Structure 1
Amino acid sequence: MDWLLAARMQANCLARPVNEAGPGGVADVVRRTGGLQAQTWRGASYAVRARSTSTTISDVSWAQETDRSVVRGWFMRGTLQLVAAEDAGPLLGLLGPKLIKDSERRYGELGLTERIRAEAADVLEDWLLTHGPTGRTELADVLVRAGLIAEPKGQAVYALLRHTGLLGRLCYGPGHDRGETWVAVRDWLGKPLVLEGDLESLARRYLTAYGPATARDFATWSGLPVPAARGAIEAVATTSFEVEATALHAVEDLPGCRDVRLLGEFDAYLLGYQNRYQELPTSIFPGGGMLRPAVISAGRAIGTWRHADLSVELFEPADLTGELQDLARFGGG
């Protein structure tokens, strides 16, 4: 199994193949991986660092806020991702309709009918086109004034923002955490998204960044139905391996990466599969949708660490000197 984890680590760019600095390096990482988890801005930023040698945390902000070569929004599985700007439309064309359908029950629980959602998308986009980047509190007030929600609190506000994002009409703009804002996509990127994507192209990109993997892994990563995922994977795979009586597909046979790497929270490498072929301890994967920063070696989790003080808890010995020094470089320390 060691060869499989090392191969997956290399496929997911954790051998740090990107040497370009600046926003170009950030965009290159995001393209190569097919997108990075971005539930937290910090997690997405450290995912870029783990896959490149010259980018900085300010480069990640520049790439999204100024260069706009990457977009933060709701894509694979309906979760927050950082994707290349040119991939946003194709991804939403492939994934958006199913993600909206999968959310129908939650919309019903929140009283968000199809009419309310459609009107909210128009209201939010019109406001953002007129007023530019706007935070959640102000957008909630806009929805209340439009008579679409009763109060500017609760989960309905976020659900309507996300729904409008899945339609390709808004995305995250400047600011992070408490200061985050949303923008109208056609203003932010200079044109509306074309919501058309090719499933086989997406499957090929997935295997390039995550292979060897199964169709169920691809379905888990993307949010697509398993039958559609299986057909696409089988159409594009060029080589296969059998692991524990399961066929894993790939587009190339990789020698593998055996480096040590410090990953941020919600790293795509640990979220890209149905079967990771390793058990994550509760210190990394405590449940409840959380995935904490991890230390990996040759693709296998060997410890956890903390952003606040760079303290590390290792399950087995490893030399972290280079990684800790690079964390300081990335953050400007």
Structure 2
Amino acid sequence: MISTRELNRATLARQLLLRRHAMPALEAVEHLVGLQAQAPFPPYFGLWSRLDGFTPDELARPLLEREAVRLVLMRGTVHLVTAADALTLRPLTQPLLDRYLNVARGRSLQDVDAGQLAKAIREALAERPLTATELGAHLAGRFPAATRDDLAVAVRCVVPLVQVPPRAVWGKAGRTAFAPMEDWLGRQPHPDPSPERLVLRYLAAFGPATVADAQAWSGLTGLREIVERLRAQLVVFRDEQGRELFDLPDAPRPGADVPAPVRLVAPFDNVLLGHADRTRIISDEHRKTVITINGQVLGTVLADGFVRGVWKREGPVVTVEPFAPLTPGQAEEVRAEALALLAFAEPGKADRHEVRGIGS
């Protein structure tokens, strides 16, 4: 049997959260199989919490140089991934987007041919990236019976579109504008990506895990058959509820007593979203506070490896809201991490940095 605390430590190790690593940013993004990026800047804080000496330019530069992109992938949400992973993961996740479109398709799209819509999208974007408003206006002229809301749902499903810079470039502002993935990267999607490889990469970043965990992370169905094909290559555990968990034989599985440092985890961070059963890192009670009904995922405080509160930053101020009193040692660690975050996010303003909510 593998205990919840052992699962916690294994997950933190895979997620690079047991210590800060001397690893290039793109290597970390690849290892993590991307960073959830519904908002433009949480990935910077996600890498800051994991990498030693990380600076914003280490992520901004690859976005500008088309070595990394943001697009809809796992769970139908925007992820920041390497260019190579975009070309591999989008074909693998296309079935969930097709399924979503079939479920969400409004009456106004009933007579819209997906192939014709895809062709119209590519034609509209042939000359330059367009914002959602610009693209919607173009498509409304081609498909007058379709509502703009329905077209917006369809656009993100039928064509792989990347969100182009300056959107999500640190220190820059810009409206969300889209370009076809193949045009932006100058390469075609992988012709035959391996779902087995996807499962193995998931386990490397999130394991040990159940089939349900892998399906919750990816948004894909039918992974039981793939895991069964891989079973001979994997080790199998039972958790405290008797469920079967799979893992890579040589993946790190630290003991339950391994110390876990305090971390301020970014909003929308993958570590909170990568499993069907998330109690390995957050209780069901606290999950209802952290993951809001309108789809927001708050920044969280890890203490002894588990979510113990939330945090938010407003300019040079970080406010921490613990769910329960922290020990004096934990409170001091949280304060130190918050000040380090402010030094990262607001350099040159140390005289204005302030941490609220945990005393002085």
Q: 1:7–1:254: 8 Å Cα contact kept in structure 2?
A: yes
Deviations 1:260-314 (A, max 9, x none): 1111221100000000123252431333433211111243101101121310012
Q: 2:6 aligns with which of 3, 6, 10?
A: 3
Match of 1:127 in 2: 124
Map of 1:179-258 to 2, 5 A cutoff? 179-226=175-222, 227-228=224-225, 230-231=227-228, 234-251=231-248, 252-255=251-254, 258=260
Report the residue type matching 1:173 in the other structure.
V
Question: Does 1:266 find its partner at 2:268?
Answer: yes
Corresponding position of 2:149: 155
Describe the SS at the equivalent of 2:301: strand
Q: Contact (CA 8 Å) 2:70, 2:81: kept in 1 or not? A: yes
Deviation at 1:79, TM superposition (A): 1.2
Residues of 2 paired with 1:322 and 1:272: CA distance? 28
* 1:323 match: 337
The alignment of Structure 1 onto Structure 2 pairs a total of residues equal to 321
Q: Contact (CA 8 Å) 2:216, 2:274: kept in 1 or not?
A: yes
Tell me, in whole angstroms, the C-alpha distance in 1 between the residues paired with 2:278 and 2:58.
Answer: 31
Aligned twin of 1:31: 30
CA distance in 2, matches of 1:157, 1:62: 32
What amino acid is aligned across from residue 321 of structure 1 in structure 2? Answer: R
Q: Measure how far apart 1:163 and its partner are.
A: 1.7
Corresponding residue SS for 2:337: helix
Is the CA contact 1:15–1:259 (under 8 Å) kept in the aligned structure 2? yes
| SS of residue matched to 1:248 | strand
Deviation at 1:235, TM superposition (A): 5.0
Query: Normalising by structure 1, what TM-score?
Result: 0.87
1:326 is displaced (CA, Å) by: 2.8
CA deviation digits over 1:220-271, x for unaligned, max 9?
1011214345435635423534332122222124216601111122110000
8 Å contact kept, 2:264–2:299: yes
Letter matched to residue 263 of structure 1: V
Identity of aligned residues (%): 25
What's the RMSD between the two structures over aligned residues? 2.4
Letter of the structure 1 residue corresponding to residue 17 of structure 2: L
Task: Please list every run of 5 or more consecutive structure 1 residues that lacks an aligned counterpart in the other structure.
Answer: none
- Give the Cα separation in 2 of the matches to 1:48 and 1:197: 27
CA contact (8 A) 1:89 1:195 kept: no
For residue 87 of structure 2, the aligned residue among 86, 89, 97 is 89
Kept in 2, the 8 Å contact 1:16–1:51? The answer is yes
Please tell me whether the aligned partners of residues 216 and 229 of structure 1 are also in contact (alpha carbons under 8 angstroms). no
* Residues 265 and 195 of structure 1: CA distance in aligned 2, closer, same or farther (over 3 Å): farther
Cα contact 1:203–1:236 (8 A) shared by 2: no
CA shift digits 1:175-228 (9 cap, x unpaired) = 248611111222211122224211111111111100111111001101121434
Check the 8 A contact 1:38/1:266 in 2, yes or no.
yes
Aligned to 1:283, the other structure's residue is in SS state: helix
1:59-85 Cα distance to aligned partner (Å, 9 max, x none): 333222x12222211111111111221
Q: Secondary structure at the match of 1:155?
A: helix
Q: How has the CA–CA distance of structure 1 residues 119 and 286 changed in structure 2, closer, same or farther, with 3 Å as cutoff?
A: same
SS in 1 for 2:186: coil
Measured in 2, the distance between the counterparts of 1:46 and 1:275 equals 24
